[in-house]
A and B are shown apart, each in its own frame.
Chain A
Amino acid sequence: MPQKRKDLGVDVVLITGGGRGIGRHLAKEFAKQGAKKIILWGRTEKCLRETCEEISMTGTECHYFVCDVGNREEVYEQAKVVREKVGDVTILVNNAAVVHGKSLMNSDDDALLKTQHINTLGQFWTTKAFLPRMLELRHGHVVCINSILSLSSIPGAIDYCTSKASAYAFMESLTLGLLDCPGVDCTTILPFHTDTEMFQGMRVRFPQLFPPLNPEMVAHRTVDAVRTNTAFVVLPWTMHVLVILKSLLPQGALEEIHKFAGSYTCMNTFKGRT
């Protein structure tokens, strides 16, 4: 049955971490599907500028601002700048994230904290900055690009698993809280390993069975989920099985399956963004 899709014609979309990776594809996809304006946030100006130019060329208005979402003051400051220069944000996409990719004892304390600040607390600040206006307008959407690791953790990325689990709870609680607010909705995307620089070097044991996702596909599915008002999307859907198994199996069995599937060793070759 074809679902009704929201028109994005009046929407101003802000994407954190929009300069590269999935964020960049999200920006292009939102533009392609008719969003009115796109705003990009990120720390590296060069990527932001390039993406911004690329989108402007296609005829969609695009702006970028340098903003580190892990820094609360900066978020509020830049949010003000956005409101003044561009207007009210109606779709907020929390996509910025980092991964340190070490085991607990090998992790640096500051790095552990930084991941929490960017991946979890950053979403609190951006949401606090833009949600009130969405509620006033009775029109808005909060989107979060999370990860399947939020529901099923692996060793060797303890900073990331912790932060993503937190971010998941934040979105779930927010989604429940906004049920009675007409016009304001939430979408959370939980993708499996995606082919960007983020998890570079990570090696899954059965790449034929679990190939890395294509970031364009993730972006496409995200925008579609926003337009159809879908609250949670697991990509690929087969990952549901993992989540169900996790709540069914005794711990020992789960560990054996993880071991066999290679999730205990996949992070050994992890390089990440260099």
Chain B
Amino acid sequence: MHIAAEFCVVCVKVLWSFAAAAARWLVKPREKRVQGRVCVITGAGSGLGRLFALHFARRGATLALWDINRTANEETAELVREIYRQNTTDTSSTCAGSEDSGEKSAVFQPRVYTYVCDVSQRESVYATAQQVRREVGDVTFLVNNAGVVSGRHLLECPDELIERTMMVNCHAHFWTTKAFLPKMLELNEGHIVTVASSLGLFTTAGVEDYCASKFGAIGFHESLSHELKAADKDGIKMTLVCPFLVDTGMFKGCQIRKEMAPFFPPLNPEHCVEKAMRAILTDQPMVCTPRAMYAVSFMKTILPFDAIVCMYRFLGADKCMFSFLAHRKESTNNNESKISM
């Protein structure tokens, strides 16, 4: 009896969440304000991390940028400062008429802080997090973005590189999250963003370590989001970002079948981050870019493996990384990409 009633309630709630999802789709929800909030971004020195920093800066967030590369991180910080300056001139000119809002923006002045941190090192993460709490304050947004790729075939890849990929792309999330989550739990407020990859939803040959690390990051993200739900901490939001190949040079050389390539162009990083920002600021749990990736990952769950293999082969997606690996090998031989590892 009691179970039946509960079952009915669950059914209603399920239907309700469908309705809510549809409503969100029709009426775009408002973006939440991030002005003055502290946002930590790992791997902010380049690629998506840098773009995330710029987008948060445009909205007036205080930024704590983490990267292992000091110079690159400082460059991002400089770009952020530039945006802050623009923001103040903009607001002071537009708000000249209205007294009170002009006052507010005059009182509040966002700042950017930079930290050199190797997120794969637990102690380094904890020490840097401590420093952030002391110097900047309580963190509202945590963007786990840092990532590396070894770019070698499994059997040729040095073990240290495999470990490093796992540590940076997956284990680092343990440490950063553990560092900032307690305060978020206390305030029941916060937002954790995991920048995974569509290779966290489906895999391709030759990049076992990278796929493993990204799937792991998603497993972590999902388990954590259920944990928060189970503990009724609904003030802490989580967003999973799964971009398809982004044109940041990380997977230079990667190629699917020539005839198919025009349908799956590498993503423009700016576009990808815009979409991700939109999802984050409207508390959307997950965002895949381009949308076709939802379809691919759904197909993957319903089709038997043999059918998936046929689909992959047709698209030339099963071996698409081989050209990237070859490219990587060539450039390592020329000592080119030593630094990027």
Contacts and interface: CB of A to CB of B under 8 A. Distances in A.
A231 B300 CA distance: 14
A66 B250 CA distance: 41
A136 B100 CA distance: 76
A257 to B, nearest CB: 7
B223 A154 contact: yes
B318 A252 contact: no
Interface stretch (B11-19, B66-74, B104-112, B264-272): B11-19
Interface string A88-110: 00000000000000011100010
Interface stretch (B52-60, B76-84, B170-178, B330-338): B170-178
A256 B17 contact: yes
A167 to B, nearest CB: 7
Contacts of B7: 260
B137 interface: no
Interface in A92-133: 103-105, 109, 112-113, 116, 120-121, 124-125, 127-128, 131-132
B324 interface: no
Interface string B208-228: 110111111111101111110
A232 B219 contact: no
A264 interface: yes
A258 B212 contact: no
Interface in A135-171: 150, 153-158, 161-170
B309 to A, nearest CB: 7
B226 A153 contact: yes
Contacts of A157: 223
Contacts of A177: 154, 205-206, 208
Contact of A132 (B14, B155, B163, B216): B155
A230 B284 CA distance: 37
B275 interface: no
B206 A173 contact: yes
Contact of B166 (A104, A120, A165, A173): A120
A264 B211 CA distance: 27
B154 A162 contact: no
Contacts of B218: 165
Contact of B318 (A103, A167, A176): A176
Contacts of B1: none
B224 A166 contact: no
A103 B305 contact: no
B261 interface: no
Contacts of A175: 305
A153 B219 CA distance: 6
Interface string A231-248: 110000000100110111
Contacts of B302: 244
Contact of A170 (B14, B212, B297): B212
Contacts of B215: 150, 165-166, 168-169
A145 to B, nearest CB: 16
A109 B174 contact: yes
Nearest to B317: A176
Contacts of A247: 297-298, 300-301
Given A169-B212, A231-B305, A161 B166 contact: no
Interface residues of B, number: 67
A173 B204 contact: yes
A111 to B, nearest CB: 11
A249 interface: yes
Given A243-B301, A246-B301, A250-B21, A170 B208 contact: yes
Contact of B10 (A153, A156, A246, A257): A257
A260 B199 CA distance: 31
A170 B165 CA distance: 13
B46 interface: no
Contact of B286 (A164, A172, A243, A251): A251
A150 B171 CA distance: 16
Contacts of B306: 231
B182 interface: yes
Contact of B212 (A132, A166, A253, A255): A166
A81 interface: no
Contact of A154 (B162, B226, B300): B226
A186 B170 CA distance: 25
B226 A128 contact: no
Given A173-B205, A179-B205, A256-B13, 20 more contacts: A104-B178, A109-B122, A124-B162, A128-B159, A150-B219, A153-B223, A157-B223, A161-B222, A165-B218, A172-B202, A173-B208, A176-B309, A176-B318, A179-B318, A247-B298, A251-B17, A252-B20, A253-B17, A255-B226, A256-B10
Interface of B: 6-7, 10, 13-14, 16-18, 20-21, 122, 154-155, 159, 162-163, 166, 170-171, 174-175, 177-178, 181-182, 185, 199-200, 202-209, 211-220, 222-227, 229-231, 285-286, 297-298, 300-302, 305-306, 309, 312, 318
26 contacts: A103-B227, A105-B185, A109-B122, A112-B171, A116-B170, A116-B216, A120-B216, A121-B166, A124-B159, A153-B222, A154-B226, A158-B224, A161-B222, A162-B170, A169-B215, A172-B202, A173-B205, A173-B207, A177-B206, A247-B301, A250-B17, A251-B286, A253-B14, A253-B17, A259-B230, A263-B226
Closest 3 pairs between A and B when the two form their complex, measured CB to CB? A165-B219, A252-B17, A169-B215
